[in-house]
Structure 1
Amino acid sequence: MRSILAQTQLFCSLTDAELAQVESLGILRNIAKGTILFYENDVVECMYVLLEGRLKLYSSNDSGREFVYHVAEPGISFGELALFCDERRSICAEAETDCVVMSIHKADFMSLLLTTPELKDQMLNSAMKIIFSLTNMVRDFALKDVYGRIRVLFERLAQPTAEGLLIDEQMSQQDIADRVGASREMIAKIMRELVAGGYVETGRKRLVILKKLPEQF
């Protein structure tokens, strides 16, 4: 567990002794696929680090429509900024696969901040990155159409391989729709055109970008 903590943005600057202290404060929890870790409007009691699996952070409305802000992978911390205000949770967290998470109670985390100056610096850095990410998200929704948001999503997730740019993440058309704020039908139409144009290849639970995506759809 300590090796994963050392790779998280929040704890990466801590010494081995400080990481051991973080580890001692953590409570491990196994979460089955589909389980809700916390709901919107829940009382904020702790922060989390994802150790195994994949977990989505999202909002939904009364009709069940979702918007996914982020899909967390192992080594990602989340929920820490909410410890600094008296508001309730503003999003939901759900396990997309079987997961293992470590939680640290609010009082323990605040005590850790008082004794670990490097952690304060990382908290500030983390907050600025979240603000930057949300600013970009708002900009994309205001200025880009659905295809433009898909293009941004694909280019952010893709990793270079010999085959092309690979998105090695299982994403259904509904998953893509939830992450760009569109209908599944619109995503299906755009994906058909991208496949027909030789821009992407789908299958085997992955997506490969074969050539540079067009600026406009």
Structure 2
Amino acid sequence: MAPLRQHIEEIAPLTDAEFDQVQSFFTLKKVRKHQYLVNEGDEVKYEYLVLSGIYRVFYVDDQGKEYIVQFAKAGWWMSDYEAFFKQGKASMFIECLVAGEVFYATLDAREQLSKELHQMEHFFRVKLTNGYVAQQQRIKLLLSSTPQQRYEAFARLYPDLLQQVPKKLIAEYLGVSRETLSRLYAG
């Protein structure tokens, strides 16, 4: 089964004709390591579904410090969502860390699919809700846990990322120094 269809049908079953309709709204893109899909200041036209590879969504503050908002791997969606939904300029970057492929679609495509196919409206709502819940859990973890607890949660939720993402970036994501991460990783 096509990866896009399999991904959607985990939530919303489609007939062959419906899937053909859905598929026509998505475009496949190969992404190279270190390639940026979004740069700060870009118009954000697309939302991306990761088929393969690993990506990071991050922003840079006025002092030049980077903050990772999200890692994304196969089956995950990513964008600068404020800019995507408001059709504005990006305040974030999306960088490919491990080469892969993504499907992408516009907000207009998403809206049209939701109008035409109830299953897709349901699918997008479930995905958006799950993403919102995950972001709240991440915020709670950052605000009320120790570095050890943050590391353990990350290792439990994303063991594959521990092996594929540079330790410097994992430390940044967890809000700890590289040295602290080394101690946690060794312990």
Question: TM-score interval w.r.t. the shorter chain?
Answer: 0.7 to 0.9
> Does the aligned pair in 1 maintain the 2:49–2:103 contact within 8 Å?
yes
How many residues in Structure 1 have an aligned counterpart in Structure 2? 185
Percent identity among equivalent residues?
Answer: 19
Task: Spell out the pairing of 1:148-163 with structure 2 (5 A cutoff).
Answer: 148-158=149-159
Q: What's the counterpart of residue 54 of structure 1?
A: 54
CA distance in structure 1 between the aligned counterparts of 2:93 and 2:80, rounded to whole angstroms: 14
**Relative contact order (alpha carbons < 8 A, sep ≥ 6): 1 or 2 greater?**
2
Q: What's the secondary structure of 1:98's corresponding residue?
A: strand
SS at match of 1:97: strand
Q: How does 1:122-201 map to 2 (within 5 A)?
A: 122-158=123-159, 169-192=163-186, 194=187
> CA-to-partner distance for each residue in 1:53-77, whole Å, 9 max, x for gaps?
2222222335553332332222323
Cα distance in 2, alignment partners of residues 178 and 10 from structure 1: 34
One-letter identity of the residue aligned with 2:176: A
What is the alpha-carbon distance in structure 2 between the residues aligned to residue 74 and residue 113 of structure 1?
Answer: 23
The offset of 1:94, in angstroms, is: 0.8
TM-score (norm 1): 0.73
Q: Displacement of 1:179 after TM fit? A: 1.7
Residues 38 and 95 in structure 2, CA contact (< 8 A), matched pair in contact too: yes
1:13 and 2:19 matched: no
TM-fit CA distance, 1:120:
1.3
Shift in CA distance, 169/189, structure 1 to aligned 2, threshold 3 Å: closer
The 3-state SS of whatever aligns with 1:147 is helix
Q: Secondary structure at the residue paired with 1:96? A: strand
User: Structure 2 length normalisation: TM-score?
Assistant: 0.83
Q: Distance in 1 between matches of 2:91 and 2:118?
A: 28
Shift of 1:90: 4.3
Alignment gaps of 5+ in structure 1: 159-165, 195-217
User: Could you say what secondary structure the match of 2:70 adopts?
Assistant: strand
Deviation at 1:135, TM superposition (A): 1.4
Inter-CA distance 86–106: structure 2 relative to 1 (3 Å threshold): closer
Partner of 2:120: 119
Q: 1:10 to 1:105 in 2, by over 3 A?
A: farther
- Give the conservation status (yes or no) of the 8 Å contact 1:10–1:77: no
Q: Name the residue aligned to 2:99.
A: 98
- The CA distance in 2 between the partners of 1:78 and 1:171, in whole Å, is 17
The one-letter code sitting in structure 2 at the alignment partner of 1:24 is: S
Q: Displacement, 1:114?
A: 0.9
Pairing 1:4–2:3 present:
yes
Give me the CA root mean square deviation.
2.6
Between structure 1 and structure 2, the one with the greater Rg is 1
- SS of 1:57's partner is strand
Amino acid at match of 1:8: H
The alpha carbon displacement at 1:105 in A equals 2.5
Cα separation, partners in 2 of 1:10 and 1:93, compared to 1, 3 Å: farther
Q: Does the C-alpha gap of structure 1 residues 54 and 116 become closer, same or farther in structure 2, counting only changes over 3 Å?
A: same
